[in-house]
Each structure stands twice: as C-alpha cells, then as structure tokens.
C-alpha cells in the first residue's frame, strides 16, 4: 500500500470511531428518556379522559335520609330513619315502629335490667334495633333493614345523624347472642352504639349484636 494513503486511512478510522461513539451515546439517551415519555403520555391520556388515580378518588358525601335522626352504614348500604324513644318492652308499640325504620330503645327499668335510653352525643348505651327477613322474603317496610348486619367487621364505620349533627362510630364487636342476653341492653360508662336484629335472619330464635365506639369524624366524610 502506498505510504500516501496511510493518513487517509487513519482519518477514516478515527471518523468511524467517533461516529460509533456518538451513535451509542444517542441511543443511550433515547432509551433512558422512554420512562419519562411513557409517564408523560399516561398523564396526558388520563387528563384527557378525566381519570383519577385510585388514591385521589374521594369517598362520596353521605346524604342521610333524615337530619332529625337517621342511621347510615356505608358498607351494607343502610340509610334509614330512626324512630326515637320506642318502648322496646311493648310489642304493640315496637312492632309498629320498626315498619317505619330502625327503633331507638327508650329509657326503661325492667326487673333484671335497666335500659338507659342514651342518645347520640351522650354517655351510655345507644340501643337501636330493626328487622331482618328470611332470604327471599318481603323486605318492604324496612323488614330487611338489618339483613346484612352480620357482614360488618371490626373497624367498619357507622354514622348516626341526630338533630342535624353527625356522630361517627367504629365497629368493635359483632356476634350471635341469646335473646336472653340482657347485658347488651344495660347502660355503659362510655358512649356506645348497639345495633340488634333477629338471628337467624327473620327468625325469633337468637339475636345478632353489633357494638361500635364513638370516634372522631373521618376526614373527607360526613
């Protein structure tokens, strides 16, 4: 090979090396930018479609059926009026009242138990009771209002609205008890919400009891 060609060959090799280095560098930068481009595309698409991240979707406000006295249990879709000061010892009265909603057991002294008849915001046992119905039975007139009471678990939220004020409670207990378990009617030192219905569903054999304690208002919920 003539010596005059060596500088040209050397220059060509150097140019080729520089080209390869530039190509590799560009490719690396291109691929490193892909995640951000994908994220930007996702953001743009979700913005156009009006889609929010799951964590950003707030729970809808609870609109109680009555601001005078009502019970709202979001998990089991209960939103019913509460009939205040019902005599739970008088079947002629309470059997009629539970066709209008959930009944609040008023203060009454029995031979073996005292019902204090506490109301939301007061210390004591706020005792509410309502119907359950056998599967497939007529659930009209609130006959099946507490059919899903047994599905509540520890930590579930319950809201009682009384005289325009919302009172929030958190489930601490749920279980089947004898219908003679009168201790669940008894007064409590702290504010406790007790819910009761027949068990098995629609049958006057035992009782299903849920107990909940007063908690601070949950953020973002009414």
Least confident of 83-92, 118-127, 134-143, 160-169: 134-143
Closest to 117 in 3D by CA, of 133, 103, 136: 103
Percent of the residues in the chain that have a pLDDT greater than 70, as a whole number: 70
Q: Which whole-number Å values give the CA distances from 31 to 37, 38, 101, in the listed order? A: 10, 11, 64
Confidence band of 136 (pLDDT split at 50, 70, 90)? confident
| More confident call, 105 vs 38 | 105
Percent of the residues in the chain that have a pLDDT greater than 90, as a whole number: 65
User: What confidence score (pLDDT) does residue 137 get?
Assistant: 84
Q: Which CATH architecture has domain 69-215?
A: Beta Barrel (2.40)
d(CA 177, CA 210): 10
């Amino acid at each position: 090979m003539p010596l005059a060609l060596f500088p040209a060959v050397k220059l060509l090799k150097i140019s080729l090396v520089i080209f390869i280095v530039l190509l590799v560098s560009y490719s690396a930068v291109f691929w490193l930018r892909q995640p951000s481009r994908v994220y930007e595309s996702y953001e743009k698409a979700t913005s156009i479609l009006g889609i929010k991240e799951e964590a950003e979707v707030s729970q809808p406000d609870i609109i109680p059926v009555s601001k005078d006295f009502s019970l709202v249990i979001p998990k089991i879709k209960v939103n019913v009026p509460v009939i205040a000061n019902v005599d739970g010892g008088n079947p002629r009265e309470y059997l009629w009242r539970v066709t209008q909603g959930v009944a609040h057991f008023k203060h009454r002294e029995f031979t073996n138990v005292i019902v204090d008849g506490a109301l939301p915001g007061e210390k004591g046992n706020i005792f509410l009771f309502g119907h359950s119905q056998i599967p497939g039975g007529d659930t009209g007139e609130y006959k099946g209002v507490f059919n899903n009471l047994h599905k509540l678990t520890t930590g579930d939220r319950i809201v009682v609205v009384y005289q325009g004020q919302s009172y929030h409670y958190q489930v601490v207990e749920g279980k089947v008890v004898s219908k003679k378990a009168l201790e669940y009617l008894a007064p409590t030192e702290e504010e406790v919400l007790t819910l009761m219905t027949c068990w098995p569903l629609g049958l006057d054999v035992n009782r299903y009891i849920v107990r909940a304690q007063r908690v601070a208002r949950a953020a973002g919920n009414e």
